[in-house]
Structure 1
Amino acid sequence: MPLNDERPTSTSSGEDQSSDVESCCDSMRSASDLDGSRDSFNSDSSSKHCTPSSSPPKTLTLDEVMEAGRELFNLKIAHEIVMNNNILMNSRPRDSLWNGVRDNLHKAFWDILETELNDDPPEYQFAIKLLEEIREILLSFLNPGANRMRTQIMEVLDMDLIRQQADNDAVDIQGLVSYVITTMGKLCAPVRDKDIKKLRESTENIVTVLKEIFRVLDLMRADFLTQNIEMLKPVLQRNCIEYERETFQSILDKTPSGLNRTTSWIQSALEELLPATEKTNDCGEGQRAMPGPFKLLNTAYFHILTWDYSKSPVPETWITDEARLQEIQWQLKQCQAVNEVLLIVYSTVGEPVQGLPSLSDRLKTMISVLLDGMHRPDFNLEESLEGVSAQLCCELNKSLTERDYPALTPELRATLTGQICSITQKDNPIRTLVEDRVQQYFMALISDPKPQLKLEQVPAGLTAIKPELALIAKKFLSLINYNRTVYGPFYVDIIKKLLFSSSPPTASVPQEKAHSSASCE
């Protein structure tokens, strides 16, 4: 049977309709499982992992709440490792408060260390703490079978012996540092060889060398973690579908209301589709034709693309991808703004600037740079668009004069600036046109069984941003496919309840219409 068919809600055919949607929902459940994980969620055994908990609300203990929090944290970590290829590259911003506090504390520490070592006689309290930390870091790099090197590190960096030497002012700091650098060279990845060479050849004072040692050790730790994650990824990718689904079900077992937002999300898609599927029977009674499960879920996925994060949090099944969804939304809004400005330029200036790919690329790059970060709360879009207009007029005049066309008149420049700045208004016709066509593009891809073949088929008027739009759509479709695979069984259960509950979410029948129905009977 078709996936997106509509089924009238009539009591006489209720059993047939329920059977049809049971079959369609079973197809959704099958489609949501990868080949390697289907057997784990079939027949009766699937109920534990595929069906959200329907037990009545209960009072949660503190231990249950904390355990659910730990499981959610583990779920996010596993998902991030699988989905994020640059998981270790996402460091804090350079100007963050955390970085400022850390840098100040580090500076104070190094200042104290330098003061101690310059004393007469030298103090080694902080130096010994550093060496002890260095020893632990070096030991953490060793494989379980590297007993010989482990023993050597423990012997050379014997903290008790070093403390005794410090008490007698007999610590060979230069020799210990030299040994540490040599050991780092044996343990580091080839990409760090240049850093190790600089450390060996350094003529700086001992405090500066220790600073550099810690900098390189941080890089080595990142290399080590990256290597371990890469080794772990194939295992996670093979099992992450089942792991995420089972972990999510475990969270639901502890928090029975854990699918409330997800249910509301799907229900809002159903309410949007119902008015478009209203039918009237022979007696004139208003009747609702229920949308098919796939159409319903695709509509819900489309809502995620335009989600208003300022008004409500994302559904529970999207928590692990919330940051990626927001980034996609930001990129899409910037692309739309770039396209809107370009359409205004070509329609205002006309033929002299059309059909010139190099000029189009320069203008697009210029607009994109000036509108970068437009999602930030402190970004002044109208002011930035005025700057965009000024830069565009300069670039257009340069191109026009090079090709013996007259420069833009003051009146035309004013018109161009006014139209560009007007795209901040929600009812702006150019903005409305672009947003509608972008939405058509994404809805067509979401509903298509083979969307990858149509990524380059953008609607008319969006050609200028076709590469960027296709890349954003590819990312979004990837998230949808993974989400559908993991959480499909939960969606099936929610959709069944929404479509065939005793009180389906339809508009109430007007009183006069109810009387008409009674008389017809």
Structure 2
Amino acid sequence: MMAAARNLSNLTLAHEIAVNENFHLEQIEHPQNRRVKQIVHKAFWDRLEEDLNEDPPEYEHAIKLFEEIKEILLSFLNPGSNRMRSQICEVLDADLIRQQAEHDAVDIQGLANYVISTMGKLCAPIRDNEVSQLKATGNIVVLLRQIFHVLDLMTMDMVNYTIRSLRPHLQRNLVDYERAKFQDILEETPSALDLTTEWIKESIQDELSSLSREASSCAGADGISKTNLSPTLVLTNSYLKLLRWDYQKKPIPETLVTDEGRLQELSEKLNQLKIIACICLITSNMVAAAIEGIPDFVEKQKRISFVLLEGMNKKTFDLREALNAIGVQTCSEISESLAARGFPLLNKEVQANLVGQLCNVVEEENPINSLIDKRIHLYLRSLLASPGFQKSMPTIPGGLAVIQTEIETIGSQYANIVNLNKQVYGPFYANIFRKLLFCETNKAEPEPSTN
């Protein structure tokens, strides 16, 4: 299990580095942990100051600090930097410093100055200012403390530089690497495809139910067999399920763990766009004549809706209240425009009806909500079926023109996730389909070839 966990951690990290151009590491501490760390560090630095102020000074703690500094500096060097490596080891040699301390000949400030000089040669340009400021620090204890702070920053810079350097290599080899890592996980944990199998099985049952309903409406239709199903169609339906997934309550299939955050974010954005499309469609249907002469009314309503629907996927968000606010703001914008042009204002009944229709979008069986939801999924289904979608996007269904730019962007991101996932896990999905579609009905027959 530990080996499988390590493999999953490596796979997830490699995937994130390769697909997320903005991925980097940051030092983030929990406030409680930071408080404990501050207390412990203060005690350590106070003790160091006491040691150095003794007569004669006690240098052991300081020597251990320089040992640690030496190891950090060495970790920044490239394999070929033999000259600097030798110099660092020579100057910061702990045994030599102890011998000097025994003879009261150690120069702590001189060692610190050498460290600062070396840091200046090794740091990224962004850290030049921090390193320069070290030179102005007179108190040796404060100086050592600040040196470690800057070294922490330099270490994180080095980590992120390594990530950027690795990214092109990982991108070139990502499919083979991820597939091999997941195979390792599967060998360590044979149940590592259980959720994925259940995910695909649900889509098979959905497709069988759909085909059975169609067949029952045709007189004399034959029964539907699993072997007649298209694995490609079933897998497409499985991917579409991820856009309606309850990420808080339902675990995601194992083969999609590395993209869980991205899929959840896309799902939430689509949900917001669906509501905005509903708002615009209802408004244009109910008060078409009133908004006809208002320049850029639809774009303005979109902007207002985006602002008021910010965070709508949080549990504490009151969607009905937000829709009511959007309705009130919409009526106000229309009334101001009508008044400016000398036209009669919207009567109270029309305004109340418009606000009420917008608030009803939250209802589970709301026809406008259902219509827009189906058309969004129709668009995304056609997008997954279009190999050359990046050159020519599918036609936007009616009612979605107002969110065309946004949905095309999300659709492109979604299709890229799906296509990469297919490349990596295609062989695993093929094995699952063979078991679910063929082995259960023809157990005595040999399994079909994977080729």
Do both share a fold (TM > 0.5)? yes
Query: 1:298: Cα distance to partner?
Result: 1.7
Give the match for residue 151 of structure 1: 86
Structure 1 residues 107 and 353, CA gap change in structure 2 (3 angstroms): farther
Give the match for residue 35 of structure 2: 104
> Which gives a bigger RCO, structure 1 or 2 (Cα 8 Å, sep 6+)?
1
Query: 1:452: Cα distance to partner?
Result: 2.7
How far does the alpha carbon of each residue in 1:207-264 deviate from its partner, in whole angstroms, 9 at most, with x for none?
Answer: 6665654454333223322322233233323332222222222332333333222222
- Whether 1:77 aligns to 2:13 is yes
Query: 1:435: Cα distance to partner?
Result: 0.9
Query: 1:502: Cα distance to partner?
Result: 4.5
What SS does the corresponding residue of 1:377 show, helix, strand or coil? coil
Distance 2:343 2:61 in 1: 73
Report the AA paired with residue 184 of structure 2.
Answer: S
| Contact 1:382 1:421 survives alignment (8 Å) | yes
Residue number among 158, 168, 189 corresponding to 1:234 in the alignment? 168
Give the match for residue 124 of structure 2: 189
Residue number among 464, 468, 484 corresponding to 2:422 in the alignment? 484
Give the match for residue 88 of structure 1: 24
Distance 2:199 2:382 in 1: 20
Residue number among 352, 357, 369 corresponding to 1:431 in the alignment? 369
Give the match for residue 509 of structure 1: none
| Runs of at least 5 residues in structure 1 that lack an aligned partner in the other structure | 1-64, 93-97, 505-521
Give the match for residue 445 of structure 1: 383
Query: 1:153: Cα distance to partner?
Result: 2.7
- Whether 1:466 aligns to 2:407 is no
Query: 1:333: Cα distance to partner?
Result: 1.2
What SS does the corresponding residue of 2:53 show, helix, strand or coil? coil
How far does the alpha carbon of each residue in 1:281-335 deviate from its partner, in whole angstroms, 9 at most, with x for none?
Answer: x995742152222222222222222223345322222122222211211121122
Please give the residue correspondences for 1:94-493 in structure 2 after superposition, counting only pairs within 5 Å: 98-109=29-40, 111-112=42-43, 115-116=46-47, 121=53, 130-159=65-94, 174-200=109-135, 202=136, 213-278=147-212, 279=215, 284=220, 286-288=222-224, 290-354=228-292, 358-392=296-330, 411-455=349-393, 457-493=395-431
Give the match for residue 503 of structure 1: 441
Distance 1:340 1:328 in 2: 18
| Contact 1:181 1:199 survives alignment (8 Å) | yes
Query: 1:192: Cα distance to partner?
Result: 3.1
Distance 2:140 2:63 in 1: 13
| Contact 2:327 2:358 survives alignment (8 Å) | yes
What SS does the corresponding residue of 1:460 show, helix, strand or coil? coil
Query: 1:141: Cα distance to partner?
Result: 0.5
How far does the alpha carbon of each residue in 1:20-66 deviate from its partner, in whole angstroms, 9 at most, with x for none?
Answer: xxxxxxxxxxxxxxxxxxxxxxxxxxxxxxxxxxxxxxxxxxxxx33
Distance 2:129 2:394 in 1: 44
Indicate the larger mover: 248-257 or 429-438.
248-257
Distance 1:386 1:502 in 2: 53
Indicate the larger mover: 459-468 or 133-142.
133-142
| Contact 2:338 2:344 survives alignment (8 Å) | yes
Indicate the larger mover: 282-291 or 422-431.
282-291
| Aligned residue pairs, count | 434
| Contact 1:445 1:454 survives alignment (8 Å) | no
| Contact 1:116 1:124 survives alignment (8 Å) | no
Structure 1 residues 369 and 440, CA gap change in structure 2 (3 angstroms): same
| Contact 2:63 2:97 survives alignment (8 Å) | yes
Distance 1:144 1:84 in 2: 28
How far does the alpha carbon of each residue in 1:173-200 deviate from its partner, in whole angstroms, 9 at most, with x for none?
Answer: 5544443332222112233334434444
Structure 1 residues 165 and 304, CA gap change in structure 2 (3 angstroms): same
Indicate the larger mover: 123-132 or 302-311.
123-132
Distance 1:116 1:158 in 2: 23
Structure 1 residues 187 and 313, CA gap change in structure 2 (3 angstroms): same
Query: 1:360: Cα distance to partner?
Result: 3.5
Query: 1:79: Cα distance to partner?
Result: 1.9
| Contact 1:88 1:222 survives alignment (8 Å) | no
| Contact 1:262 1:316 survives alignment (8 Å) | yes
Indicate the larger mover: 357-366 or 136-145.
357-366
| Contact 1:113 1:207 survives alignment (8 Å) | no
What SS does the corresponding residue of 1:458 show, helix, strand or coil? coil
| Contact 1:293 1:495 survives alignment (8 Å) | yes
Report the AA paired with residue 168 of structure 2.
Answer: P
Structure 1 residues 441 and 285, CA gap change in structure 2 (3 angstroms): closer
| Runs of at least 5 residues in structure 2 that lack an aligned partner in the other structure | 443-451
Structure 1 residues 389 and 292, CA gap change in structure 2 (3 angstroms): same
TM-score (norm 1): 0.71
| Contact 1:317 1:487 survives alignment (8 Å) | yes
Structure 1 residues 114 and 261, CA gap change in structure 2 (3 angstroms): closer
| Contact 1:456 1:470 survives alignment (8 Å) | no
Indicate the larger mover: 241-250 or 352-361.
352-361
Structure 1 residues 283 and 116, CA gap change in structure 2 (3 angstroms): closer
Alpha-carbon RMSD: 3.6
Report the AA paired with residue 232 of structure 1.
Answer: L
| Contact 1:121 1:169 survives alignment (8 Å) | no
Distance 1:385 1:266 in 2: 36
